[in-house]
């Protein structure tokens, strides 16, 4: 995103500031709803952050050892219950990140107040993507920080617990800080000067108080501390669903065509797989039928390849150049050539296979022989004799020999 819009309610008006990608302030203003809507319509492309008054949110921490979000969400209300001035059912708990000590940062707001804030936003054209507390924008370094605006101050401790007070109460808060603690006060010269007495009292109690003067501390300066680590209170049932990006008509048509193509391709793959599976089942059945015909005395036949090898004295891993490898290549063309297999002989020492077959004509034997040669096998036709209406012949088949 090129820019981020921060806004908060200020009476009947809206105070807003826009920061660029590099963090620079691009523009700011204070306007009514109509003017705000004309400047920031529903189609606004930047990130939108609604900043809630810090005094409406309690920022605390909870020690929950579990890493499962569901269990954390269930446990937190009971862990922080003693810090609440209301019933658990009246509060909404927004879960943030863990601090340096492993405790979970929690932002708590009355659900009725949250509903009221969301109702106040109904008149806006845009909808915020994030809702954060003013207090969460204050980032402590090595000490507690108090950032003082014109009428209120935001205090943040090192552990992520924070509170927003009216300016009149800041002096009291400073005076009760534990001794040996460190506090950095950030504000305009006049605001820091008005706290001179409580600052002096804190220093007398050995509180290390430092002051940093800025020309003016307002909403735009407060937003400069935004880094994305702030707890977003729009979660759970209030979570904002990210809109799907619009797709042009041309791209939509491309996606439809791609979808149809993928569907057809998958259909072809599944269809081919089904066909090959059927052929595999048929070949398995034929192999079993042939084995049972040759070795008719055996029952409960399993693992046809291994049994063929055992019968022929071959090892299971001696494939490709053994009887089964040669037979599987030679037997493929038997049926297409119109041959009837009568007998099979295999000579292990020579590594050749002899088929004795019946054929309708001698040309069928020649065609079968040529087919084997095209497949890279050596095929030699033996004696041919006439037997009634059929021709009886033999074909010697082997690997890697020259043609004859």
> What CATH number corresponds to the domain at position 212?
3.30.420.380
Mean pLDDT of 144-153: 87
Q: Which of 154-158, 192-196, 302-306, 328-332 has the lowest mean pLDDT?
A: 302-306
Q: Are residues 271 and 351 located together in one domain of the fold?
A: no
Task: Identify the domain containing residue 325 by its residue range.
Answer: 315-399
Q: Are residues 228 and 253 located together in one domain of the fold?
A: no
Q: How confident is the model at residue 36 (pLDDT cuts 50, 70, 90)?
A: very high
Q: Are residues 341 and 192 located together in one domain of the fold?
A: no
User: Is residue 309 included in any domain, yes or no?
Assistant: no
CB–CB of 138/224 below 8 Å? no
At 206 the pLDDT is 85
Mean pLDDT of 238-263: 73
Q: What would the pLDDT profile of 87-104 be if each residue is shown by its tens digit? A: 999 999 999 999 888 999
8 vs 279, residue with greater confidence: 8
User: Is residue 307 included in any domain, yes or no?
Assistant: no
Q: Which of 48-57, 211-220, 379-388 has the lowest mean pLDDT?
A: 379-388
Q: What is the mean pLDDT of the chain?
A: 83
CB–CB of 6/17 below 8 Å? yes
At 247 the pLDDT is 55
Q: Are residues 157 and 194 located together in one domain of the fold?
A: yes
Mean pLDDT of 181-187: 87
Q: Are residues 227 and 122 located together in one domain of the fold?
A: yes
Q: Are residues 172 and 62 located together in one domain of the fold?
A: yes
Domain count for the chain, please give it.
3
User: Is residue 308 included in any domain, yes or no?
Assistant: no
The whole-model pTM stands at 0.59
Rg of the chain (C-alpha set): 43
Mean pLDDT of 385-390: 80
**Spatial separation of the C-alpha atoms in residues 208 and 143, rounded to whole Å:** 9
241 vs 14, residue with greater confidence: 14
- Measured from the Cβ of residue 161, the count of other Cβ atoms closer than 10 Å reads 19
User: Is residue 310 included in any domain, yes or no?
Assistant: no
What backbone torsions phi and psi does residue 53 show, to the nearest 5 degrees? -50, 130
Confidence check: pLDDT of 293 > 50: yes
Rounded to the nearest 5 degrees, what angle is found at the Cα of 177, between the Cα atoms of 174 and 178?
160
Confidence check: pLDDT of 402 > 50: no
């Amino acid at each position: 995103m090129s820019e981020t819009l921060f806004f908060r309610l200020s009476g009947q008006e809206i105070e807003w500031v826009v920061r660029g990608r590099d963090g620079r302030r691009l523009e700011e203003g204070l306007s009514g709803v109509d003017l705000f809507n004309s400047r920031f319509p529903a189609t606004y492309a930047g990130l939108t952050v609604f900043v809630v008054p810090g005094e409406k949110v309690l920022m605390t921490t909870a020690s929950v050892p579990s890493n499962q979000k569901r269990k954390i969400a269930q446990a937190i209300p009971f862990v922080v219950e003693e810090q609440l001035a209301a019933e658990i059912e009246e509060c909404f708990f927004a879960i943030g990140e863990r601090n340096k000590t492993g405790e979970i940062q929690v932002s708590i707001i009355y659900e009725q107040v949250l509903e009221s804030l969301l109702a106040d936003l109904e008149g806006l054209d845009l909808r915020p993507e994030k809702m954060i507390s003013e207090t969460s924008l204050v980032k402590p370094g090595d000490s507690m920080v108090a950032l003082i605006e014109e009428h209120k101050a935001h205090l943040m401790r090192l552990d992520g617990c924070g509170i927003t007070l009216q300016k009149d109460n800041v002096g009291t808060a400073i005076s009760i800080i534990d001794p040996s603690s460190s506090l950095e006060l950030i504000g305009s010269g006049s605001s820091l000067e008005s706290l001179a007495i409580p600052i002096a009292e804190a220093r007398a109690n050995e509180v290390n108080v430092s002051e940093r003067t800025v020309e003016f501390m307002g909403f735009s300066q407060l937003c400069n501390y935004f880094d994305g680590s702030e707890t977003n209170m729009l979660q759970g049932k209030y979570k904002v669903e990210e809109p799907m990006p619009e797709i042009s008509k041309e791209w939509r048509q491309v996606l439809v065509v791609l979808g149809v193509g993928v569907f057809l391709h998958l259909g072809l793959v599944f269809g081919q797989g089904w066909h090959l599976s059927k052929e595999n089942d048929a070949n398995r059945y034929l192999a079993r039928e042939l084995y049972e015909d040759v070795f008719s005395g055996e029952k409960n036949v399993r693992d046809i390849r291994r049994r063929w090898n055992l019968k022929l004295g071959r090892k299971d891993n001696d494939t490709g150049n053994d009887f089964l490898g040669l037979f599987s290549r030679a037997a493929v063309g038997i049926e297409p050539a119109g041959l009837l297999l009568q007998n099979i002989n295999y000579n292990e020492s020579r590594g050749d296979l002899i088929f004795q077959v019946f054929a309708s004509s001698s040309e069928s034997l020649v065609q079968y022989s040529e087919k084997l040669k095209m497949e890279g096998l050596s095929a030699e036709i033996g004696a041919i004799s006439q037997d009634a209406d059929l021709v009886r012949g033999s074909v010697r088949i082997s690997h890697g020999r020259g043609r004859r």
